[in-house]
Amino acid sequence: MNLTLKIWRQKNANDKGKMVDYKINDVSPDMSFLEMLDVLNSGLILKGEEPVAFDHDCREGICGSCSLYINGEAHGPDRGVTTCQLHMRKFKDGDTIYIEPFRATAFPVIKDLIVDRSAFDRIQNAGGFISVNTSGNTIDANTIPINKHDADDAFSAATCIGCGACVASCKNSSAMLFVGAKVSQYALLPQGRVEAVDRVKNMVAQMDLEGFGNCTNTGACEVECPKGISLENIARMNREYLFANIKD
Amino acid sequence: MALDSKIPEGPLADKWTNHKNKINLVNPANKRNIDVIVVGTGLAGGSAAATLAELGYNVKAFCFQDSPRRAHSIAAQGGINAAKNYQGDGDSTYRLFYDTVKGGDYRSREANVYRLAEVSTNIIDQCVAQGVPFAREYGGLLDNRSFGGVLVSRTFYAAGQTGQQLLLGAYSAMNRQIGRGKIKMYNRHEMLDVVIVDGKARGIIARDLVSGKIERHSAHAVVLGTGGYGNVFYLSTNAMGSNVTAAWKAHKRGAFFANPCYTQIHPTCIPVSGDHQSKLTLMSESLRNDGRIWVPKKLEDAEAIRAGKLKPTKIAEEDRDYYLERRYPAFGNLVPRDVASRAAKERCDAGYGVNATGEAVYLDFADAFMRYGREQALVKGLDVNDDVLVKKLGQEVVRTKYGNLFQMYEKIVDENPYETPMMIYPAVHYTMGGVWVDYNLMTTIPGCYAIGEANFSDHGANRLGASALMQGLADGYFVLPYTIGDYLADDIRTGPIPTDTKEFDEAEKSVRDNINHLINNKGKHPVDYFHKRLGKIMWNKCGMSRNAEDLKSAIDEIAELRAEFWKDVMIPGSADEYNEELAKAGRVADFLELGELFAKDALQREESAGGHFREEYQTPEGEAKRRKEFQYVSAWEYKGEPKDAVLHKEELVYENIEVKERSYK
């Protein structure tokens, strides 16, 4: 396949940035999207130009590093995948592909297509944990029986990879799907109930502080989430938050 | 320098308890005056950082990713072992210990492995308390499954994403400590040297990957939890950024490097599709619980399949060779990874491979669909003789067990594995070699520790499934936090370590010189060009099977390639900005040294053990042949060029296990 790429280039956080056109030929449909960028980059390096910077690591859809806004969609046109799992067979010969960084005030650009998602870490630091000593001197695991249904729902919420596609897809750059998933995981487990009130208040407060917007129930986050994290988690977070504030 | 493993006296089962009772402790008030650097924040580094902070030490944690949550431990799929014996199927600490030592081909250290088995049960308790959502049975209790190389169900899991859940558990424990200010987190930072003061590890030189700034960080001890070096092969199941740099720099500063040639080849990976490939994707070994592995019995069938003229589903049952079930009836498709990998390669080398390149075998779920489907039909009172219905019901069961893996396979290969058997081939996965450590997990540099995959001690020549996560968390949560206190007890009066000393000056200068050389080189080829060439030498000559002649030529070729790299590598951009090519160049430079030591280690080990199959040493049936005289750890001391490294041997003594020929028949 021969393609035209329109890629956002931005030297650093202070640079203004602009779209730049690139031609790439002989793209195999078996390549992943990131492998296609690897090929582009090795060509650029050989020409003495700087390669396009993008985040990536595991390349098997689980680390959450890779991002990219492709043709106006987080992680591109396919559903239920990260960019590293997107294959070129989803595109056609002669296509023009727009590649941009995730856009959100809370995710400032570091370089080219790389954004700073450490706001997610700070939300986690504010309460995304259960306060248990790491000594191992806790009760036997099977003395905390958990209904299979709840365990499965907690697991589903916990599969969030923190990629930020929800934020990038939201017209308000809301982080509520991410935070809702975290709040839900612990809210559904007996171990997490003890601190539930403080957790949801602290995490939501930090989320607001970071400059993420509010949820407007558009649902784009759920559609674009590579792990299929459900909107139910936002509803659960809202219930938890309301309950926490009533309790005060 | 003589190697002292510091294994405690006394009976095996009491060693750890006795050791803990005698170990020096640091008073909680004094812990506040002690700094510890933890490099790497995966299962081992993350759990260690959290626990050390919990104990009261000041922790500085470093990772090259943008967040600890992205460490490659996150990609582990299948599960974590623990000798809980919840299933009542005969499991015990001893049996987990026994399976691990046997699975490791009797090349791991007995005392360390026993301790690992002993603390394994605490890990599950800890993780459940942290809110790790393990799979549950309908009664609300934890579920278990079985893994290759064992006869009990002791593997705890969270669908096919166990590593993710355990890592996020450790990350949540870190978050709590970061929030409390007890861990200072340095994301997007890479360690480039260890600083030694008066013979002790007292700090590191790190590079901020965003600004390119070189930084000095001091501490009373340095812990490396930096994972393995499988990316020396270029193609592996490791994350793209996984590297050996931190461990290798420690090696160059005096830490012995043990068993570098011990690498695990994982049997169930998605086969290579072409030259553009950047990495290989593993599918959980748990698939072997239900999938049957086969190739055609007849060469002409294999040829027709490769040519695209025949579909695997059209091959009659009697024309299929279920070679693992044939060769190893007792364990069948659940033989250990090295055995399964080698058997696949043997069949493909003999011409029975089933993809275009002839490097793939089938992993077939057709029987499992029918088996589960009949059970479901019976439970639901439906017609068990309706094959279409039964298959559909069975597929649903398989979907709940392995759905995410099937989906992943389909995305990559573009074939539906519910309708046609999966294709798999072995790929480089985990490295059992690593920095040599004593029983306290301390390297040969005082004050420098190595934990998890970065050290060598627990897995021997081969790692059984679901044991890597166990070791990472055992080291980080429950072993290092005790043993490091023994060392730090002498440092309560030391006070903060200054960074404006000649040792830091010297280490920083060597880091800067290295970077300046690379960035100003203006050669002809990008970094990947050298990395791919190194990978080809490693796979062809130091891969699944090796012989003396190939290994000798590999040593020369790698040395030549390294010289070429330093002369000809081309790196765009500058050193004081985000520059991925520069970071990559530094890592590949280290792989080019490690690769040579890897080949040298493989050459001197004249035996077959685990994934290390020396062609000259095999039984008449083609099985690995161990030799008693090689029952030792090879620990290499750095002396300049890798070819000049000096070998030290730690004899492995088995007092509690009879060393036998490994058999899975």
Q: Mind telling me how many Å the CA of B238 is from chain A's nearest CA?
A: 7
The predicted model gives B259-284 an average pLDDT of: 91
Tell me whether residue B96 is in a domain: no
Residues B509 and B409 in one domain: no
Residues B536 and B403 in one domain: no
Give B207's strand partners. Answer: B190, B214
Does the CB of A197 have a partner CB in chain B at under 8 Å?
no
Q: Mind telling me how many Å the CA of B245 is from chain A's nearest CA?
A: 16
Taking alpha carbons only, the member of B440, B477, B481, B474 closest to residue B459 is B474
CATH of the domain at B597: 1.20.58.100
Residues B419 and B507 in one domain: no
Buried b or exposed e, range B115-145, using 16+ CB within 10 angstroms: bbbbbbbbbbbbbbbbbbbbbbeeeebbbbb
pLDDT at B268: 93
Does the CB of B660 have a partner CB in chain A at under 8 Å?
no
Tokens of B325: 């079930």
SS3 A150: helix
Name which of A70-74, B577-581, B608-612 the model is least confident about: B608-612
pLDDT at B476: 98
Residues B271 and B418 in one domain: yes
Tell me whether residue B300 is in a domain: yes
Tell me whether residue B591 is in a domain: yes
Q: How far apart are CA B548 and CA B557, in angstroms?
A: 14
3-state secondary structure A52-87: CCCCCCCCCCCCCCCCCEECCEECCCCCCCCHHHCE
Judged on CB neighbours under 10 Å (0-12, 13-18, 19+), A146 is buried
Residues B517 and B413 in one domain: no
Q: Mind telling me how many Å the CA of A206 is from chain B's nearest CA?
A: 12
Q: How confident is the model at residue A198 (pLDDT cuts 50, 70, 90)?
A: very high
pLDDT at B41: 98
DSSP string, B482-509: HHHHHHHGGGTTT-PPPSSSHHHHHHHH
Residues B524 and B384 in one domain: no
B52 pLDDT higher than 70:
yes
pLDDT tens sequence across B167-225: 999 999 999 999 999 999 999 999 999 999 999 999 999 999 999 999 999 999 999 99
Q: How far apart are CA A137 and CA B77, in angstroms?
A: 27
Q: How far apart are CA B332 and CA B314, in angstroms?
A: 24
Identify the domain boundary among B427, B459, B480: B427
Q: How far apart are CA B429 and CA B235, in angstroms?
A: 10
pLDDT at B147: 80
CB contact under 8 A, B164 and A159: yes
- The position carrying tokens 């990350």 is B171
CB contact under 8 A, A60 and B187: no
Active site residue B337: yes
Look at B259 and B336; give whichever has higher pLDDT. B259
CATH of the domain at B350: 3.90.700.10
Tell me whether residue B423 is in a domain: yes
As a whole-number percent, the residues of chain A with pLDDT over 90 amount to 97
Name which of A194-203, B274-283, B415-424 the model is least confident about: B274-283
Question: Which residues, numbered 127 to 146 in chain B, qualify as contacts with chain A under a Cβ-Cβ cut-off of 8 Å?
Answer: 127-131, 133-142
Tell me whether residue B257 is in a domain: no
pLDDT at B633: 98
Chain Cα centroid distance, residue B516: 32
CB contact under 8 A, B577 and A111: yes
Residues B406 and B514 in one domain: no
Judged on CB neighbours under 10 Å (0-12, 13-18, 19+), B264 is buried
Question: Which residues, numbered 519 to 578 in chain B, qualify as contacts with chain A under a Cβ-Cβ cut-off of 8 Å?
Answer: 526, 528-529, 570, 572-573, 577-578
Please, which residues have CB within 8 angstroms of residue B437's CB and are 6 or more apart in sequence? B443, B449, B450, B455, B456, B457
Does the CB of B171 have a partner CB in chain A at under 8 Å?
yes
Which residues of chain A lie closer than 8 angstroms to B75, CB-CB? 58, 60, 62-63
Please name the member of A85, A133, A151 whose beta carbon is closest to the beta carbon of B136: A151
Residues B282 and B410 in one domain: yes
Tokens of B598: 């890897």
What is the dihedral sign for C-alpha A142, A146, A148, A152?
Answer: negative
Residues B416 and B550 in one domain: no
Tokens of B478: 């429950």
Minimum CA–CA partner of B576 in chain A: A12
Residue A248 has, within 13 A of its CA and on its CB side, a CA count of: 9
DSSP string, B182-232: SEEEETTEEEEEEEEETTEEEEEEEEETTT--EEEEE-SEEEE-----GGG
Which residues of chain B lie closer than 8 angstroms to A192, CB-CB? 131
Q: How far apart are CA A22 and CA A9, in angstroms?
A: 11
Does the CB of A51 have a partner CB in chain B at under 8 Å?
yes
Question: Which residues, numbered 120 to 139 in chain A, qualify as contacts with chain B under a Cβ-Cβ cut-off of 8 Å?
Answer: 120-121, 124-139
Does the CB of A59 have a partner CB in chain B at under 8 Å?
yes
Query: Which of A62, A120, A203 is most worth mutating to test chain B (most B CB atoms within 10 A of its CB)?
Result: A62
Q: End-to-end distance of chain A based on CA atoms, in angstroms? A: 61
Q: Are B613 and B542 in contact (CB under 8 A)?
A: no
Q: Mind telling me how many Å the CA of B122 is from chain A's nearest CA?
A: 5
CB contact under 8 A, A59 and B279: yes
The count of domains in chain B is: 2
Q: What domains are defined for chain A?
A: 3-111 (3.10.20.30), 117-247 (1.10.1060.10)
The predicted model gives B270-287 an average pLDDT of: 88
Chain Cα centroid distance, residue B285: 14
Q: Are A191 and B130 in contact (CB under 8 A)?
A: yes
Question: Average pLDDT of chain B?
Answer: 95
Q: How far apart are CA B93 and CA B170, in angstroms?
A: 24
Tell me whether residue B523 is in a domain: yes
**pTM of the entire predicted model:** 0.96
pLDDT tens sequence across A24-54: 999 999 999 999 999 999 999 999 999 999 9
B46 pLDDT higher than 70:
yes
Angle at B446 between CA B441 and CA B451, to 5 degrees: 25
A248 pLDDT higher than 80:
no
Identify the domain boundary among B399, B427, B455: B427
Tokens of A199: 């957790």
B19 pLDDT higher than 70:
yes
CB contact under 8 A, B122 and A136: yes
Question: Average pLDDT of chain A?
Answer: 97
pLDDT at B1: 66
Tokens of A238: 């809202």
Residues B379 and B527 in one domain: no
Residues B411 and B536 in one domain: no
Q: Are B237 and B279 in contact (CB under 8 A)?
A: yes
Q: Mind telling me how many Å the CA of B129 is from chain A's nearest CA?
A: 6
B311 pLDDT higher than 90:
yes
Minimum CA–CA partner of A109 in chain B: B210
Residues B417 and B542 in one domain: no
Taking alpha carbons only, the member of A200, A91, A25, A110 closest to residue B208 is A110
Q: How far is CA A4 from CA A94, A114, B368, in A?
A: 7, 21, 46
Identify the domain boundary among B367, B397, B427: B427
- Write down the catalytic residue from B207, B337, B614, B662: B337
The predicted model gives B538-558 an average pLDDT of: 96
Tell me whether residue B654 is in a domain: no
Tell me the residue range of the domain where B278 lies: 267-427
pLDDT tens sequence across B506-525: 999 999 999 999 999 999 99
CB contact under 8 A, A151 and B134: yes
Look at B326 and B150; give whichever has higher pLDDT. B326
CB contact under 8 A, A124 and B171: yes
Which residues of chain B lie closer than 8 angstroms to A114, CB-CB? 578
The predicted model gives B262-284 an average pLDDT of: 91
CB contact under 8 A, B185 and A121: yes
| φ, ψ of residue A98 in degrees (nearest 5) | -90, 125
pLDDT tens sequence across A158-192: 999 999 999 999 999 999 999 999 999 999 999 99
Q: How far apart are CA A15 and CA A6, in angstroms?
A: 18
Minimum CA–CA partner of A192 in chain B: B131
Q: How far apart are CA B366 and CA B398, in angstroms?
A: 10
Please name the member of A50, A51, A141 whose beta carbon is closest to the beta carbon of B142: A141
- The position carrying tokens 């930020």 is A164
Minimum CA–CA partner of A27 in chain B: B276
As a whole-number percent, the residues of chain B with pLDDT over 90 amount to 91
B104 pLDDT higher than 80:
yes
Question: Which residues, numbered 229 to 248 in chain B, qualify as contacts with chain A under a Cβ-Cβ cut-off of 8 Å?
Answer: 237, 239-241
Chain Cα centroid distance, residue A63: 10
B608 pLDDT higher than 90:
yes
